[in-house]
Amino acid sequence: MRSIRAAAVGAVTLSLALAASACGGGSSTGGGSNDEPTTLTYWASNQGASIEIDKKVLQPELDKFQKQTGIKVELEVVPWSDLLNRILTATTSGQGPDVLNIGNTWSASLQATGALLPWDAQNFGKIGGKDRFVASALGSTGAPGKDPAAVPLYSMAYALYYNKQIFADAGIAQPPATWAELTADAKKIQAEGKQALGAEGANVSENIHHVFVFAQQHGARFFTDDGKADFTDDGVVAAVKQYVDLMAADKVIPTGNAEYAQNQSVSDFAKGTTAMLLWQSASANLTSQGMSEDAYGIAPVPVQSGTPGTGTQVNSMVAGINLAVFKNTDNLDGATRFVKFMTSDEEQKILNKAYSTIPPVAGAQNDPAFSAPATAVLKNTLATSAAALPQVADESQFETTVGTAVKELFADAAAGRPVTTASVRAKLEKAQQQMPAK
């Protein structure tokens, strides 16, 4: 009898415990607190050639921060393939890191969820003011007219990386400055038995970055001024077609690149099988793949004609990483201090050198390291001829739908199917119909 009663009591207790723990799983979705002032969790994005390299770069700095403030930072480097999903899951559950890196193109989308701490004047005051940051970088921190959802951490720009030896062998003296020159040079390179230009045809985000720049050069935008999707604009269609035609018509990009999505084009370039690569801040990546810095040159991305500038002369997106504070943090003060630390002039110099990126903090840019020929091109591009991707709440959907359309067009081109204005328009129309109705 006693054992039965014990079993009954146990059963009831277990049930109650289960129910209670399930109900207690979520946390409040209110603002942040300072309940845990001595620890922080930090999700870093994968900036180096591998996650291990990132840990090696960041850990000494986090130790420095701990020495200064007594706050221990738990670091997790999240691969790009997982980062957005992890952030969405954290947003839904309210259980996330205190501080996190986000791709700057996600700023407006994540801003719309309300999961990130808005950087109003007061919060900016805690990290030294908004004026410390470069204007172009601040342009990719959220929808215009709203308090930024994050602060810029690393800035990057696209550039044309070219293999000096292959160029010399093909008798090309100057890197191409226009697309026509690039196509002409490609013929000379192919005559030497090398591949001309590498691309990540199946990488949705890379596709977006390139067609965005082509659209700028055609004077077109993917969104109207009031934030509606406008993918079938003539300029947009021409832009997407011009990019895919690099494979389909000009045969500049090898057809095999249509299935590339794991940075194989960077490896091809590092191995010397491809002569050119359009990439953002690739130096550190190339070095880690064993390519000497003397072996390649860096030039601005080509334009239609003339020289890079604003308007239709844009030749890069404002690429970069922003640092955000999760609104549900239980160490709000610590998180803000950490952001201040990471965006301080000194740390900006250390981190941006390690990642071959450009500091978005004006005070750190004057370090001579960022005026070396390699980074000078990137810095100059950011300052004069880079444009921010549309800062709209639907940006993430735009990347997926249009990026997938370009991937399918590359697949068509690779399979030898014709890529025409009509087929490009049809794909873009389908992409537009998949966007959320307004």
Partner 1 sequence: MTTTTAERPVGRSTPGAAPRGTPRRRPGRLRRAGLPYLLLLPALVLELLVHLVPMVIGIVMSFKELTQFYIRDWGTAPWSGFDNYRMSVDFDAPVGEALLHSFLVTVAFTLLSVGLCWLVGTAAAICMQDTFRGRGPLRALFLVPYALPVYAAVITWVFMFQRDNGLVNHVLHDQLHLTDQPSFWLIGDNSFWALLTVSVWKGWPFAFLIVMAGLQNIPRELYEAAALDGAGMWQQIRRITLPSLRPVNQVLVLVLFLWTFNDFNTPYVLFGRAAPQAADLISVHIYQASFVTWNFGTGSAMSVLLLLFLLVVTGVYLAVTSRGRRSADA
Count of chain residues binding partner 1 (CB under 8 A): 51
Smallest distance from the beta carbon of 69 to partner 1, in angstroms?
29
| Residue from 24, 121, 173, 415 in contact with partner 1 (CB under 8 A) | 415
Nearer to partner 1, 347 or 412 (CB): 412
CB within 8 Å of 188: residues ≥ 6 apart: 170, 171, 172
How do 386-387 and 151-156 pair as beta strands? unpaired
Q: For residues 31 and 219, which CB has a smaller minimum distance to partner 1 in the complex?
A: 31
Rounded-to-integer distance, Cα 200 and Cα 277, Å: 10
Q: Alpha-carbon distance 91 to 177, whole Å?
A: 44
Q: Tell which phi-psi region holds residue 37, choosing left (phi > 0), alpha (psi between -120 and 50) or beta.
A: alpha
Q: Which stretch binds partner 1 (CB under 8 A): 81-89, 182-190, 216-224, 242-250?
A: 81-89
Distance in Å, CB of 304 to partner 1, minimum:
29
Nearer to partner 1, 33 or 397 (CB): 397
Contact partners, residue 138, CB within 8 Å, separation at least 6: 130, 148, 152, 360
Give the max Cα distance, the chain.
97
296 near 371, Cβ under 8 Å?
no
Q: Of the candidates 46, 232, 380, 400, which one interacts with partner 1 according to CB under 8 A?
A: 400
Residue among 46, 55, 64, 94 that touches partner 1 (CB under 8 A): 94
Among 227, 256, 272, 363, the residue binding partner 1 under the rule CB under 8 A is 256
CB of 314 to partner 1, least distance (A): 26
18/184 with CB nearer partner 1: 18
Minimum distance from residue 263 beta carbon to partner 1 (Å): 13
By CB under 8 A, name the one of 44, 159, 172, 202 that touches partner 1: 202
Closer of 19 and 191 to partner 1 (Cβ): 19
Instruction: Single out the residue of 49, 204, 295, 369 in contact with partner 1 (rule: CB under 8 A).
Output: 204
Nearer to partner 1, 13 or 305 (CB): 13
Judged by CB under 8 A, the residue of 297, 317, 404, 419 near partner 1 is: 404
- Kindly tell me which of 156 and 202 has the beta carbon lying closer to partner 1: 202
Among 53, 58, 77, 115, binds partner 1 (CB under 8 A): 115
Task: Please name the helix (run of DSSP H) or strand (run of DSSP E) that holds residue 72, with its range, or none.
Answer: strand 72-78
Helices vs. strands in the chain: H and E counts, helices first: 18, 11
Q: How far is the CB of 18 from partner 1 (least distance, A)?
A: 5
CB of 153 to partner 1, least distance (A): 23
Among 217, 245, 198, which Cα is nearest to 307's? 217
Contact status, residue 201 vs residue 253, Cβ threshold 8 Å: yes
Nearest to residue 396, comparing CAs of 253, 174, 205? Answer: 205
What is the distance between the alpha carbons of residues 362 and 376, in angstroms, rounded to a whole number? 14
Nearest Cα residue to 89 out of 152, 40, 26, 156? 26
CA distance 208 to 399: 6
| List of long-range contacts for 422-427, beta carbons under 8 Å, 24+ apart | 424/237, 424/240, 424/241, 424/244, 425/232, 425/237
* Only segment of 7-15, 54-62, 214-222, 348-356 that touches partner 1 (CB under 8 A): 7-15
Q: Torsion angle of alpha carbons 375, 379, 385, 390, nearest 10°?
A: 100
209-248 mask for partner 1 (x: CB under 8 A)?
Answer: ----------------------------------------
Rank residues 13 and 420 by Cβ distance to partner 1 and give the closer one.
Answer: 13
Helix axes 332-342, 345-354, angle to 10 degrees: 70
C-beta closer to partner 1: residue 113 or 304: 113
Choose the binding region for partner 1 from 10-18, 282-290, 296-304, 349-357 (rule: CB under 8 A). 10-18
Give whichever of 61 and 399 is closer to partner 1, judged by the CB atom: 399
- Quote the CA–CA distance of 141 and 146 in Å, as a whole number: 9
Query: CA separation (Å) from 353 to 100, 255, 376, 393?
Result: 20, 35, 13, 32
Of 87 and 351, nearer to partner 1 (C-beta) is: 87
Residue numbers at the binding site for partner 1 (CB under 8 A): 4-5, 7-9, 11-16, 18-19, 22, 29, 81, 85, 88, 91-92, 94, 109, 112-115, 201-202, 204, 256, 258-259, 261, 393, 396-397, 400-401, 403-404, 407-408, 410-412, 414-415, 430, 433-434, 436
